[in-house]
Amino acid sequence: MIEHTTEVGILERAVKAFHEATGIHLHAEPLVRMDARWQNVDAKVRLVTPDIDRRFAVEVKRWLNPHTLGFAVEQLNRLPEKGLLVTEYVNPNMAERLKQMDIPFIDALGNAYLNVPPLFIYIKGQRPQRRTFHERPTRAFVPAGLKVVFALLCRRDLVGAPYRTIAETTNVALGTVAWVLEDLQRLGHLLEMGKRGRRLVQKQRLLERWVAAYPDQLRPKLMAGRYAAPDPKWWERTNTKDFRAYWGGEIAAARLTRYLKPEVATIYVRDLPGKFLAANRLRKDVRGNIEVLKTFWNTDCDWTDKEIVHPFLVYADLLATGDARNLEAARRLYDDQIVGLVRED
């Protein structure tokens, strides 16, 4: 649901810009919170013309880029009615991609795509007059904060530990832990209960925030390189335990869901990857289908399979690609594995 006036403002400006560009009104309607299906919907709008009467469930994103598109699409697919993506600005390339995926959108500059027969609207190329600066992410969702949040989500006992223990476990500065926990409390994800300690709440929403920030804020800093292999089935014979490494992305998803046929290999390594690269005869290739990343967690997660990363990270890897196959695998992974992991205690 919409939590910030910034997002309310984006929706209001987008609806106004859509009317100015098309002459068509979109009418906001009250959400029915008693219906559990609408609990995670940002807003509801109604499109009414002489020939059409159609409702949309709205998902507001402050900004959109290739890294965050997959997560936005996944959220839209979970809405109880046809989803409408509302954002600050959709550039021409992103507009074309959304059109190809048949995802309705409007932005605050008048760009839009709606295909509701007999109505078809496609407007792109409206650009901001000056460079816009994105709001700085809250400190819990910058790189160091994301490491802490991931550990708290993965290890339920850690949230009640002393600050120093959390800092040592997540390999961040002591001051970082203090302001991350302060931010989580302010955002409604952490309860301070005095002598009863702390409790993490709204974990599903917190995971959504983490997954949305991870591809843009932390993942690029972990990339050790892209590679190619002479044998496309090299990974089937590789024992990751020999290299203190873990499968992520498509290979991990294939193991967890039995659905996906991997095309890209993602592996997280604790040590310098030299031995791993030599043993598997991998060669540097900027267009290769093997990506090697450094691990960022310094703790054992509450997860039994030690050859693959935690499902939270697999989910984030899949959504970061924006690939339709991976979005479907992510949906299956969420339903099969993740729902139970973020259930409220």
- Digit-coded pLDDT (tens) for 273-293: 888 999 999 999 999 999 999
Q: Label residues 32-50 b or e (16+ Cβ within 10 Å = b).
A: eeeeeebebbbbbbebeee
Q: What are the φ and ψ backbone dihedral angles of 255, each rounded to 5 degrees?
A: -70, -35
Q: Is the pLDDT of residue 99 over 90?
A: yes
The pLDDT of 16-44, averaged and rounded, is 78
pLDDT in tens, 52-73: 999 999 988 887 877 778 888 8
Helices 311-321 and 66-77: crossing angle, nearest 10°? Answer: 110
pLDDT of residue 79: 82
- Asked if pLDDT for residue 11 goes beyond 80, the answer is yes
pLDDT at 39: 65
What's the token pair of residue 176? 């970082």
Read off the pLDDT band of 130 (50, 70, 90).
low
The pLDDT tens digits of the residues spanning 330-340 come to: 999 999 999 99
> Which pLDDT score, from 0 to 100, does residue 32 have?
59
Taking a C-beta distance cutoff of 8 angstroms, is the pair 47, 23 a contact? no
Lowest mean pLDDT among 19-33, 91-105, 131-145, 218-232: 131-145
Write out the two tokens for 53: 């009467």
The answer on pLDDT for 1 being more than 80 is no
Percentage of the residues of the chain whose pLDDT score is greater than 70: 93
User: What does the mean pLDDT of the chain come to?
Assistant: 88
pLDDT for residue 164 is more than 70:
yes
Asked if pLDDT for residue 326 goes beyond 70, the answer is yes
pTM beyond cutoff 0.75 = yes
Residues 26, 88: contact at Cβ < 8 Å?
no
What is the rounded distance in angstroms from the CA atom of residue 232 to the CA atom of residue 64?
Answer: 33
